[in-house]
Amino acid sequence: MSLRTFCAALVLVVATPALADSQAKPLSAQQLSISAPPAPGSPDHKAIAEYVKHWMDLVTAGDPAKVKEARKELSSSLRKPEATPVFHRLFFEIASPQVNKALEADDAYRASNALMVMRWVRTPEAFELVRQQCDPRRQKDVRIRAAAANLLPAMVDGGCVPAAQMDAAATRLAELAASETDWVVVSQEMAAMSRLAAATNEAKMAPQTAAIRLDLIKALGSVVNRMGSGKDKSAAPACYRGLIAVRDQVMVMSQGETSKAAEKLMPILQKVESIPEANGDDLTGDELEWRGARKVADTLKKLLASRGAR
């Protein structure tokens, strides 16, 4: 072997581990430029694309043992206070095809972790993507629907939904709650509606707030009506939490709004009152939840009566 050939081989041997090491260590959130809008095609833009694709690949198709690590890494970049709206929109644009692919696969663990990344993306599109996974017509796996519904309240709090779109989002959630068969999912959908009402109320958007509150009452009514005679109390936890959410909203309603809400709410409370609670010392969790639901319903009736609503 000539000296030249030997040296070339030596360089290859030394360089190969270095190259592999650089590939094994992708960019981290600390290395990204997320505080200024990157120009399309710029090094910063390419770095963000490489970062999102690499870590999302691990979430959606990589080593199962690294899914959680990858999800935390991606979430850390989105949670940084200096991350601009442009970065969030770019992140969604790059990540959403991979998220949708994970949602179509038969892997609830990966799909749920992909949705947990979307929870931190502050765009209306991210909220809509997660909300769509609560629809039993679109998402058949109840585990994924439950994971998606569990994220909605926090996404509302995180500012994912523009104020002008909040009442429309609440209407869609009320429709989903009426058709959902899993009561955990229904509970989270009503919790998200309550957060939407609180957000519009804080933004001084009275018409939207009133509309969202009526949608919340409508969703509660669908839960109570599906209980029938009350023999099966599996819906009791959802009913209990829905009543608490409605009570919290009634407490901050104006006199006029209370009167309008009472027209829709009183028949629901009467229905709750008509379903008896079980007696005895050996009650199931659902039966105890129903006892709590009846107490909240009674409190609501008294609250409405104190404001002159019948």
pLDDT at 21 over 70: no
The pTM assigned to this predicted structure is: 0.78
As given in the structure block, the two tokens for residue 230 are 């009350």
Count of beta carbons in the 10 Å neighbourhood of residue 241: 24
The encoded tokens of residue 301 equal 């009736």
Contact call for residues 179 and 136 (beta carbons, < 8 A): yes
Taking the C-alpha atoms of residue 115 and residue 216, their distance in angstroms, rounded to an integer, is 24
Contact 180, 136 (CB under 8 A): yes
Query: For residue range 229-260, what is the model confidence (pLDDT) as tens digits?
Result: 777 889 999 999 999 999 999 999 998 999 99
CA distance 278 to 275: 10
Between the alpha carbon of residue 77 and those of residues 71, 139, 245, the distances in Å are 10, 28, 33
Sorted by where each begins, the domain ranges of the chain are: 45-161, 182-310
CA distance 196 to 216: 10
CB 114 within 8 A of CB 151: no
pLDDT value at residue 15: 40
pLDDT of residue 34: 81
Q: How far apart are CA 295 and CA 272, in angstroms?
A: 10
State the pLDDT at residue 12.
Answer: 40
Q: How many CB atoms lie within 10 A of CB 92?
A: 20
Q: Would you place residue 7 in the very low, low, confident or very high pLDDT band (cuts 50, 70, 90)? A: very low
